[in-house]
Chains A and B, each alone.
Chain A
Amino acid sequence: MTTISARRLTLGYQRRTILRDLSLDLPEGRISVLVGSNGCGKSTLLKALARLLDPWQGQVSLDGHDIRRRSTRAVARVLSLLPQHPVAPEGISVRQLVCLGRHPHQSWLSQWSEEDERRVDDALERTAMRDQAQRRVETLSGGQRQRAWIAMAVAQDTPLMLLDEPTSFLDLTHQMEVLELLKSLNREAGKTIVMVLHDLNLACRYADHIVAVRDGRVHAQGAPPAVITRERVREIFQLECRVIEDPFFHTPLCIPFGKQRDA
Chain B
Amino acid sequence: MSRRLLPLIAVLAGAVLLSLMAGARWLDPLTVGQALWAPSPTDVDALLVRTTRLSRTLVALAVGAALGVAGGIMQTLTRNPLASPGLLGINAGALFAVVVLVTLGGALPGWLANVGAFAGAALASLLVGWIAMRRPGESSPLRLILAGAALTALFQAFSQALLVIDQQGLDAVLFWLAGSVSGRPLADVWPLMLLALAALLACGPCLRPWNVLAAGEAVAIGAGVAVRRLQLVSIVLVVALAGSAVTMAGNIAFVGLIVPHVARRVSTPDHRHWLPVAALLGAILLLLADVAARTLILPGEVPIGVMTALVGAPVFMALLRRQGAAHG
- Complex contact A86–B224 (CB within 8 A): no
Majority SS at the chain B contact face: loop
- Chain A residues 79-122 with CB under 8 Å of chain B are 79-83, 86-92, 96-97, 100-101, 103-104, 106, 108
Q: Tell whether B222 is near chain A: CB-to-CB under 8 Å.
A: yes
- Chain A residues 40-96 with CB under 8 Å of chain B are 50-54, 71-77, 79-83, 86-92, 96
Once bound together, how far apart are the Cα atoms of A53 and B137, in whole Å? 7
Residue on A nearest B211 in the bound complex, by CB: A100
Name the contact of B224 in the complex, choosing from A72, A91, A97 (C-beta under 8 A). A72
Q: What residues of chain A lie closer than 8 Å to B269, measured between beta carbons?
A: 89-92, 96
Number of interface residues of A (CB under 8 A): 38
- Complex contact A104–B223 (CB within 8 A): yes
Q: Which candidate, B56-64, B212-220, B239-247, B298-306, is the interface stretch facing chain A?
A: B212-220
- Complex contact A81–B215 (CB within 8 A): no
Chain B: minimal CB distance from A233 (Å): 30
- Chain A residues 185-219 with CB under 8 Å of chain B are none
Q: What residues of chain A lie closer than 8 Å to B136, measured between beta carbons?
A: 54
- Complex contact B218–A77 (CB within 8 A): no
Name the contact of B223 in the complex, choosing from A54, A76, A88, A108 (C-beta under 8 A). A76
Once bound together, how far apart are the Cα atoms of A71 and B226, in whole Å? 8
Q: Given A103-B208, A108-B205, A108-B208, verify A86-B223 contact (CB < 8 Å).
A: no
- Complex contact B226–A83 (CB within 8 A): no
Q: What residues of chain A lie closer than 8 Å to B211, measured between beta carbons?
A: 89, 100, 103
Q: Tell whether B312 is near chain A: CB-to-CB under 8 Å.
A: no
- Complex contact B224–A87 (CB within 8 A): no
> B122-147, CB under 8 A of A: which get 1 and which 0?
00000000000001111000000000
Name the contact of A89 in the complex, choosing from B135, B205, B215, B224 (C-beta under 8 A). B215
Once bound together, how far apart are the Cα atoms of A125 and B194, in whole Å? 48
- Complex contact A80–B222 (CB within 8 A): yes
Q: Given A54-B136, A90-B269, verify A104-B224 contact (CB < 8 Å).
A: yes
Q: What residues of chain A lie closer than 8 Å to B224, measured between beta carbons?
A: 71-77, 103-104
- Complex contact B222–A97 (CB within 8 A): no
Complex A-B, nearest 5 residue pairs according to Cβ-Cβ distance, in ascending order: A76-B224, A81-B222, A104-B224, A83-B218, A73-B224
Residues of B bordering A, CB below 8 Å: 79, 81, 135-138, 204-205, 208-209, 211-212, 214-216, 218-219, 221-227, 264, 268-270
Residues of A bordering B, CB below 8 Å: 13-14, 50-54, 71-77, 79-83, 86-92, 96-97, 100-101, 103-104, 106, 108, 152-153, 156, 162
